[in-house]
Amino acid sequence: MGERTREPGSNPIQKIGSYCDEIHAEVVEDLHIGEYGYKYRMVEGRVMPPYITPGRYTLSRHIATRRGDICYTSFPKSGSTWLANVIYLITHRGETPADRTLRSCLNWVESSWTYPRSVQELDAQPSPRIFKSHMPWDMALGGNPAGNPCKYLYIARNPKDVAVSYFHFESDKQWSGNYNGPWEHWLRMFMEGRVQRGDWFDHVLSWWAFRDAENMLFLHYEDLNRDFRGELNRIAQFLGYSLTQKEHALITHKASFDYMREDRFTNHQEITDLETFFRKGKIGSWRELFTPDQSEAFDRLCAERIAGSGLEFDFG
């Protein structure tokens, strides 16, 4: 098993073209433009990105999953790309193809943006098929996860870091959400559940309620950050893989923040405007933007919304 660090420019991966509402939002009349230009679509009463089109969403709900399928899911900016890479590396014993990207190896059925698949393409794919989603439980891929042959992994991150990471993400890129307002306003929208993918608390709690289901693994970004070794073993075991020491070391290396930021397999270089995707990769970067008053208000909201659920977060 060789470790390949790719030199910049050494492989043929091409840009996939720019995001465009006229193409990717499909039903453009449905779109709303909120405060500070923030664009979204309502799906099942939730704020969603424009590229979650009615047709793609319906397909994602009705897709026939099979034994061996893996679906990872999260609220945006919670470490899902990191988890995707870990899943890919486990299921491929640490090897990655030189002529493809992680994104192109995943099935993001609910989205019309980046590698949308037809039913025929999905049916023809060998196991294990890896599905990406950012949906709450009641909008999950494959209908009801509890009665589904698919294995689900949910990754949650402390919501202050999510809010900050999401603000940078939506402010830095010029497509889809296109938010161009200040942090204070973004934070208010986040706390009121008005950012794309809806209310963070509802989202996380919806999956947390099913954390003990046999086909479900609930993960925390902060655990991966603090104890990658232990979490890698947990994920591998859940997926039914036993890793050799060498594979373990290779995966640990290839899933590190610095490696993923540089490697063309993972660094989203095929998409315009995602150059800042690998931003900090740390616990506690919320301190950059939260004022003491904002932090207190957020803590009060957390106490109200997750009290009694048993769900706890490490804020660094």
Binding site for ligand PPS (CB under 6 A): 74, 76-82, 161, 165, 168-169, 255-257, 260, 278-281, 285
Q: Which of 124, 205, 113 is nearest to 159 (CA)?
A: 205
Among residues 32, 92, 134, 203, the one annotated as catalytic is 134
CB of 80 to ligand PPS, least distance (A): 3
Residues 267-279 as b/e (b if ≥16 CB within 10 A, e otherwise) read bbbbbeeeeebbe
CB 172 within 8 A of CB 272: no
Q: Kindly tell me which of 66 and 248 has the beta carbon lying closer to ligand PPS.
A: 248
Residues 108-134 as b/e (b if ≥16 CB within 10 A, e otherwise) read bbbbbbbbbbeeeebeeeeebbbbbbb
Q: Kindly tell me which of 4 and 279 has the beta carbon lying closer to ligand PPS.
A: 279
CB of 98 to ligand PPS, least distance (A): 20
Pairing of strands 32-33, 216-220: unpaired
Backbone angles phi, psi at 152, to 5 degrees: -110, 135
CB of 164 to ligand PPS, least distance (A): 7
CB of 76 to ligand PPS, least distance (A): 3
Alpha-carbon span 292 to 220, nearest angstrom: 25
Q: Kindly tell me which of 63 and 255 has the beta carbon lying closer to ligand PPS.
A: 255
From first CA to last CA, the distance across the chain in angstroms is: 36
Q: Kindly tell me which of 211 and 280 has the beta carbon lying closer to ligand PPS.
A: 280
Does the annotation count 24 as an active-site position? Answer: no
- Residue positions annotated with a catalytic role: 134
